[in-house]
Amino acid sequence: MRKGRFQQAPSSLLKTYSESISFDWRLYRHDIRGSIAHARALMNAGILTASEFEKIEAGLREIEAEIASATFPFDVELEDVHMNIEAELTRRIGDAGAKLHTARSRNDQVALDLRLYLRDEIRALGDLIAAFQRALVGLAERYSDSLMPGYTHLQRAQPVFASHHLLAYVEMASRDCDRLKDCEKRLDQMPLGSGAIAGSTIVLDREAMARELGFSTVTQNSMDAVSDRDFACEFLATLAILGMHLSRLGEDFILWSSTEFGFVELSDRHTTGSSLMPQKKNPDIAELTRGKTGRLYGNLVALLTVMKGLPLAYNRDMQEDKEAIFDSVDTAKAALQVFTEMIDGATFLEDRAAQATADPALLATDLAERLVLGGVPFRKSHEIVGRLVSTASRRGIPLNELDPSEFVAAAPMLTEEVLRDTFNARKALSARKAPGAPSPGNVSQRLAHWRKVLK
């Protein structure tokens, strides 16, 4: 690149500071795939002969195999994956290799590589999310009838089935998949042929290249095509939200596996010990994922910050997109894989959870709703039951152990029969039949739905 315009060799500091081959080598498969499509378009435009195209394709396939087997000699002097591959190709096959970059810039080349790479990773992540969902559904099925307290403000709120709680995360993961699919739609435009900024006087069949590379359409503005990283920002945002969901689930498992809660036991294979305290069994997987979510957030903010002040079109700042993308991909994939294993190996401690669910205060809302069904306005019934809860709390007794006469005095319809019926968690859950509520029938239907979707 420097032989024509430059009279001096680059500073060694410049070479070290600007190289990207140490990380963008990961794009080699996509770079080679794009180069073969580009070479075919050059042949069809009469720039390459059929023989030259065959040499280019064979040479690129040979280089691809060497990179895959870790025997290819990457050279930091050549800056990036594009120049490393092109220079070696030219060394091996001569002038035909030197013709490959006709009507192409590294600007549209890397824009293509990133789209191809992210398309592959979106599909791989979708498979990992589905496996994660299957693990959650499996655990929910094993304990489909187990009761536990549901929480708001980390205070016991109302009874739910453990399966209903776990299925909440299956729903979240489903939205993560949907966001990935949406992101794939917006990166489904092929930028190759846009050149550095304004295309080329050598007109290639961009639609044919798009078909070969599996894109449904081509970009319509060369300046936007080479400078667009919206799709990368959207991808990183999707992984940040996925990380948020994993972090929340991790927090639940951290709490549930503590002595104070005691609802879950994680397997020995997915916990660690203490270097000092022999009794410890720590939920490090959940804690690490909770921490690594910060990396996913940071990578998104980093790329948004890189892009926010850039004039059109390409600027070298945009080289910073790759490490953020690669790190988020690696982090999300590792977290999904290890969480799937952790969930598969977890045991729900039903007796401890049922004991916590036996607190009659969890059914205070049900008691208020019984009054509503008797014609009492909800705000009044809320006040009545609130006073009863306060009285039981002052006396240090469970709500259902107040004297029956006190319930009747508060509201005549609160007979002993009504109280027995109300202070029954399973009956209370059976009454919650509205779509989305945790009745046994609803939970069973949702488990069946996810089994069908995820099989």
Q: What is the mean pLDDT of each run of 10 residues along the chain (455 residues)?
A: 71 87 97 98 98 98 98 95 98 97 98 98 98 98 97 97 98 98 97 97 98 98 98 98 98 97 97 94 96 98 97 96 98 98 97 97 97 96 97 97 96 95 96 97 98 95
**Set 22, 51, 274, 430: catalytic member:** 274
Catalytic status, residue 227: no
pLDDT of residue 1: 59
Q: Residue 434 gets which letter from DSSP? A: S
What distance in Å separates the CA atoms of residue 453 and residue 129, rounded to the nearest whole number? 13
CATH classification (class only), 12-102: mainly alpha
pLDDT of residue 173: 98
Q: Cis before residue 302, ω within 30 degrees of 0?
A: no
**Set 12, 69, 153, 275: catalytic member:** 153
pLDDT of residue 234: 98
Where do runs of H (alpha helix) occur along 221-283? 222-227, 230-256
What distance in Å separates the CA atoms of residue 119 and residue 433, rounded to the nearest whole number? 41
Q: Are strands 155-161 and 147-152 parallel, antiparallel or unpaired?
A: antiparallel
What distance in Å separates the CA atoms of residue 379 and residue 383, rounded to the nearest whole number? 6
Residue given tokens 């050598």 in the structure block: 202
What distance in Å separates the CA atoms of residue 139 and residue 118, rounded to the nearest whole number? 31
Domain ranges of the chain: 12-102, 109-202+212-355, 359-454
Catalytic status, residue 270: no
Entry pTM: 0.94
pLDDT of residue 3: 66
CATH classification (class only), 359-454: mainly alpha
Coil, strand, or helix at residue 155? strand
The length of the chain is 455
Q: Are strands 347-348 and 264-265 parallel, antiparallel or unpaired?
A: antiparallel
Residue given tokens 């990166």 in the structure block: 187
Q: How many CA atoms lie within 13 A of 410 on its CB side?
A: 24
Do the beta carbons of residue 357 and residue 149 sit within 8 Å? yes
CATH of domain 109-202+212-355: 1.20.200.10
Q: Are strands 155-161 and 189-190 parallel, antiparallel or unpaired?
A: unpaired
